[in-house]
Structure 1
Amino acid sequence: MNNKSVIAIFALCMLLISSCAKKEKKDLPKIAIAGFWIESSTFSPAKSDVNSFKQLRGDEIFDYYPFFGKDSTLRNQAKWVPTLRARAIPGGVVTKETYETFVSEILEKLKVNGPFDALFLDVHGASSVEGMDDPEGDLITRIREVVGTDCMISTSMDLHGNVTPELVKHSDLITCFRLAPHEDAMETRRRAVKNLLDRLESGKGKPKYKAWIPVPVLLPGEKTSTRIEPGKSLYAKIDPLTKQEGVIDAAIWVGYAWGDAPRNTATVTAYGDSKEEVAKAAEYLAKSFWDVRKEFEFVAPVASLHESLKAAIKSDKKPFIISDMGDNPTAGGAGDVTWTLAELLKRPEFKKADGPSLIYASIPGPKFVEKAVKLGEGAMIEAEAGANVDSRYSGPVKLKGKIEKIKHGDKHAETEVVVKVGSMHVIVTKIRKPYHHEADFTNLGLNPRESDIVMVKIGYLVPELYNMRGDWLMALTPGGVDQDLIRLGHKRIKRPMFPFDADMENPDLSARMIPLSNE
């Protein structure tokens, strides 16, 4: 073989390699990303508008998901087209105008950039929108009208979401968190993406069967944490089922207790390629849930505010954390109910500077903050805060004390003011903010570990606060996410429902096979 022949063969090989590489790249599936995420209470007078949401577009969406790093395996397995991810901290009902603004943008970007092989949909499942009973079902139905039925959709959700047949029909793959607190949030989203890619690359396409079972139980997250039993063992039953032949994934949703609509209930799903195994898995989980419904208890001891304060003052464990649960903004409370703070201000123990040290986090008061900024650190202030949105239980409270810290630039609160009132440090924010991390306090010059009492508007403690606690009580306080569900007065949920109908008969927990999106 002469040199010219060798060169020609080499050139041909390089051309074939290049062609294959181009073909491989060209054949990567085209997958869209979209998200709409909020948990919103229908029992709160608050409204969530466009400004309540953090909106991510383009590369910002990739940055949000750690598994989509530029050199990550999942990032390189497809041509990803991010549209919009709108997320808000929990709050009140979303205005219809806000919802339509986000949905319209998602749909328009899907139309312009399509067609798609698949779509990753990241939703909470507990949004409440003016005039709508099933916003997530509406969203995915309208997405289907744009992307068609050949496009495979994988939906990732919060376990406190709600799941309707419409949502399951249009979701070819659907999953949710398995931990509460949600330490597996990103792991769950990664699972949703991985399952989607596996079905595309294997050529197996959409799962053949999907089972859906509503379980007539509606309990708050503070009673269904997976830190303790029976939630811990119940959710541990999911993963082994996904290892069975014919089952791809299964999930249990607790549902959202502070939403009053027909869809608000616990739910179980399973999907895969074996009708028998899928149905069996779903029925097993549904029965397991129903069987332990009466065993769910609060994740920590609960008491009235008076009893909680009595125990905290008497305790020598620092910090003694008290959850001000009824107005918890991480569950959908307005965050500005002043009832608890008003009660604290009446207590003689906290009126003197040398009383028990207490940090109260927090109360929104934009006018208070504005006045404090004008006065500056070190000045004395007397002004009202709170009850701008939810004044049903108590009006604005007057805080009189010394401004110890003013901090600007927080991504939630915008501006935070620490005012010393007697022996209490009250944090007043321009915009409501949940306090989850030790740094939330230390950045304000506060030391929560050395405080006798730390009171936070939260339900069950997130891991960082949980690990920091000396002791902990959850106070049964009023608000838009009141833990006394009976007192709230649900009118539209499907009855009978446990615990509203405590002695109800056993329900039908047989699997309902949901049609595929193209059927």
Structure 2
Amino acid sequence: MTACTRMSPKVLVARLSHESHSFSRLRTTLAEFGREELLFGAEILERMAGTRTEMGGIIQAAQEYGWELVPVVSACASTSGPVTRAAYDALTEPLLRALAEHSDTDAIVLSLHGAMYVDGLPDPEGDLLFRIRQQAGWKVTVAATLDLHANVTDAMVRYADILTSYRTTPHTDQFETGRRASALVDRTLKGEIRPRLQVARRPTIAGMDLGRTLGDTPMTRLQARARQYEAEGFVLDLSLNAGYYMGDVFEAGPSVLVLGDGEAEDSRCLAVANALMDDAYSWRAQKTVHLQSIESALAMCQAPARRSGPLILADYTDGPGGGGYGDATHLLRALVQANLPGTLVGLLYDPESARQAVAAGVGAEVDLLIAGKTDPNFGGGPVPLRVRVLATSDGRFTRAGPFRTGTPASIGTSALLQCGEVRIIVASNRVQAEERGQYRVLGVDVEQLNILALKGINHFRADLEPVSRGVVFVESGGIHATDLRTLPYRNVRRPIWPLDDETHPNHQPLNLS
């Protein structure tokens, strides 16, 4: 890695992002990336410039720094099962080909997740960075942004010069993270810094309160300490990663990444990483979200409202944002039976019912088997209901909330249905609840609801929680399991908390939420 002496550094940029649930029966194909984000070449600049995303931040920074930016590929798919090897190869090939075509590249800036899992390849991000190094050597500066839920592997640290992660959950600082990575690259190219990475972990696959930073949380306090270390000067950047415990990779779990300036600072930077990781490890069982049973959630729905806005029931264990199938039906059954006025259930992943409703047309009454079709063992099977079709949509909208602002999105062909006092949204795309735009495509004003039962874990909170009268996180038996000891791990290091009693003699089952 050497300083760039050209007036306009040539910088390749690419995005390859997926959070993969290792134990899901689904597979993430190239078509799944196509439904969310799959762009090539100049199209990336056209579509992503001005958006509050990592790519938006990188593009803006490149303009300011005078880089010759070479956009290659930008691919992202919603959290689901492992990525197929065919999809991984199809997405990495353009980047490796671009490297060969642009042998005078000075830097590569990647937008990764850090918790991708490919069939037969548990650490694809480490593999990609290794292959980049094989082709480009060490003269090229290699940087990557990471999700706060990255499982940071030794290979990622070894083959990247710069890694920097989001600092918020919900992830509303993606743009800033792209800018931050770019600034570090620019300083490196100018010879101002010599970045070196240090990482610390502990024998735990869970912790850091899943990285939640809404309000005064253990994670916000840890982030504040990280910023203090950065202010001391020898730490260039400090990333706190909560990890993704549904990723069955050896290094899965929380980690602390410290980026230092030069080899002389290695020991001090590693000491900082260890100090913060020790702190996080000491409160690994603390959490700010506590799951309620469906019965308890219904009782809260029936209590007098103390403020305006809907009561949000977040079907946590079925949240697609954590790898849930998005079609569990236990909560739907309970709400249909309760028949409380102003109730909306959705988004439910059910392309079959959506197609049938669209074919029947607005105003028609139709008998449907709703949701529960991916795997009835997790959250319940299909619910037979006679419903009236209130509205249909192609599901397309542009994100306007704080999460990925300005990017196009779609819930797919979808329908708004009525069953008694309960309205239901069935959608053809398996997506997490994010913002009000997902409901507006079907004419639903979220603020006017009494109860909103959605499939969500974190990101909906940025846009939907402020207009609600409260959020109740519900345990519905989905695949985003809360007792990790029920999952068939094969690759994680052992012993590790909370899977192994021998790690902690006083171990108690942990309800992760």
TM-score bracket relative to the smaller structure: 0.7 to 0.9
Deviation of 1:364 after TM superposition, in Å, equals 2.1
| Equivalent pair of 2:61/2:179 in contact (CA under 8 Å) | no
- Rounded to whole Å, the distance in 1 between the matches of 2:502 and 2:173 is 35
Residue 375 (structure 2) pairs with residue 382 (structure 1): no
CA RMSD of aligned residues (A): 2.4
Aligned with 1:124 (options 109, 113, 116):
113
| Equivalent pair of 1:220/1:256 in contact (CA under 8 Å) | no
| Equivalent pair of 1:152/1:206 in contact (CA under 8 Å) | no
Counterpart amino acid of residue 284 in structure 1:
A
Distance 1:303 1:186, change over 3 A: same
Matching of residues 166-177 of structure 1 within 5 Å? 166-177=155-166
After superposition, the C-alpha distances for 1:167-200 in whole angstroms (9 at most, x for unaligned) are 0111101110111111212111110111110111
Aligned with 1:391 (options 367, 376, 380):
376
Matching of residues 353-364 of structure 1 within 5 Å? 355-364=340-349
Distance 1:259 1:432, change over 3 A: same
After superposition, the C-alpha distances for 1:398-453 in whole angstroms (9 at most, x for unaligned) are 23111000112424222110000111110011222323222322332223222221
| Equivalent pair of 1:384/1:396 in contact (CA under 8 Å) | yes
| Equivalent pair of 2:207/2:283 in contact (CA under 8 Å) | no
Distance 1:467 1:403, change over 3 A: same
- Rg comparison, structure with higher value: 1
Deviation of 1:489 after TM superposition, in Å, equals 4.7
Deviation of 1:369 after TM superposition, in Å, equals 1.9
| Equivalent pair of 1:46/1:390 in contact (CA under 8 Å) | no
- Partner secondary structure for residue 485 of structure 2: helix
- Rounded to whole Å, the distance in 2 between the matches of 1:222 and 1:180 is 10
Deviation of 1:226 after TM superposition, in Å, equals 1.8
Deviation of 1:122 after TM superposition, in Å, equals 0.9
- Partner secondary structure for residue 35 of structure 1: strand
Distance 1:505 1:259, change over 3 A: same
- Partner secondary structure for residue 155 of structure 2: helix
| Equivalent pair of 1:43/1:481 in contact (CA under 8 Å) | no
Distance 1:315 1:112, change over 3 A: farther
- Rounded to whole Å, the distance in 2 between the matches of 1:447 and 1:71 is 34
Distance 1:238 1:383, change over 3 A: same
Deviation of 1:223 after TM superposition, in Å, equals 4.5
Deviation of 1:244 after TM superposition, in Å, equals 2.4
Distance 1:37 1:72, change over 3 A: closer
What is residue 93 of structure 1 aligned with on the other side? 82
Aligned with 2:10 (options 20, 30, 44):
30
After superposition, the C-alpha distances for 1:280-319 in whole angstroms (9 at most, x for unaligned) are 221222222122223x2133x4211111112112241431
Aligned length: 473
After superposition, the C-alpha distances for 1:78-97 in whole angstroms (9 at most, x for unaligned) are 11111111101111111111
| Equivalent pair of 2:319/2:455 in contact (CA under 8 Å) | yes
- Partner secondary structure for residue 92 of structure 1: coil
Counterpart amino acid of residue 257 in structure 2:
T
- Partner secondary structure for residue 82 of structure 2: strand
* Runs of 4+ deviating beyond 4 Å: 67-76, 220-223
- Rounded to whole Å, the distance in 2 between the matches of 1:250 and 1:283 is 12
- Rounded to whole Å, the distance in 2 between the matches of 1:71 and 1:473 is 39
TM-score, normalised to structure 1, is 0.85
Deviation of 1:325 after TM superposition, in Å, equals 0.8
Q: Quick check: 275-284 or 414-423, which moved more?
A: 275-284
After superposition, the C-alpha distances for 1:444-476 in whole angstroms (9 at most, x for unaligned) are 222322222101100134211111120211001
Q: Quick check: 187-196 or 407-416, which moved more?
A: 407-416
| Equivalent pair of 1:45/1:334 in contact (CA under 8 Å) | no
Aligned with 2:272 (options 272, 281, 291):
281
What is residue 3 of structure 1 aligned with on the other side? none
What is residue 229 of structure 1 aligned with on the other side? 217
Matching of residues 241-256 of structure 1 within 5 Å? 241-256=229-244
Residue 52 (structure 2) pairs with residue 64 (structure 1): no
- Partner secondary structure for residue 40 of structure 1: coil
Aligned with 2:259 (options 260, 263, 271):
271
After superposition, the C-alpha distances for 1:341-382 in whole angstroms (9 at most, x for unaligned) are 23434x2x21xxxx4321111222222222222221011011
- Rounded to whole Å, the distance in 1 between the matches of 2:501 and 2:288 is 17
- Partner secondary structure for residue 449 of structure 1: helix
- Rounded to whole Å, the distance in 1 between the matches of 2:272 and 2:146 is 19
Counterpart amino acid of residue 375 in structure 2:
D
Counterpart amino acid of residue 351 in structure 2:
P
| Equivalent pair of 1:335/1:432 in contact (CA under 8 Å) | yes
- Rounded to whole Å, the distance in 2 between the matches of 1:377 and 1:277 is 65
- Partner secondary structure for residue 394 of structure 2: strand
Aligned with 1:46 (options 14, 17, 26):
26
- Rounded to whole Å, the distance in 2 between the matches of 1:283 and 1:69 is 30
Aligned with 2:392 (options 406, 410, 421):
406
| Equivalent pair of 2:345/2:452 in contact (CA under 8 Å) | yes
Counterpart amino acid of residue 287 in structure 1:
D
- Rounded to whole Å, the distance in 1 between the matches of 2:350 and 2:123 is 33
| Equivalent pair of 2:211/2:241 in contact (CA under 8 Å) | no
- Rounded to whole Å, the distance in 2 between the matches of 1:64 and 1:413 is 20
After superposition, the C-alpha distances for 1:181-227 in whole angstroms (9 at most, x for unaligned) are 112121111101111101112x24642x4322122233378654122
Distance 1:244 1:61, change over 3 A: farther
Distance 1:252 1:309, change over 3 A: same
Gaps of 5+ in 1: 1-23, 507-519
Gaps of 5+ in 2: 51-55, 397-408, 506-513
TM-score, normalised to structure 2, is 0.86
Aligned with 1:458 (options 456, 459, 470):
456
- Rounded to whole Å, the distance in 2 between the matches of 1:324 and 1:482 is 12
- Partner secondary structure for residue 419 of structure 1: strand
Aligned with 2:185 (options 196, 205, 220):
196
- Rounded to whole Å, the distance in 1 between the matches of 2:65 and 2:220 is 35
Distance 1:71 1:320, change over 3 A: closer
Residue 463 (structure 2) pairs with residue 474 (structure 1): no
Distance 1:455 1:88, change over 3 A: same
Distance 1:205 1:76, change over 3 A: closer
- Rounded to whole Å, the distance in 2 between the matches of 1:83 and 1:255 is 28
What is residue 240 of structure 1 aligned with on the other side? 228
| Equivalent pair of 1:220/1:257 in contact (CA under 8 Å) | no
Q: Quick check: 308-317 or 384-393, which moved more?
A: 384-393
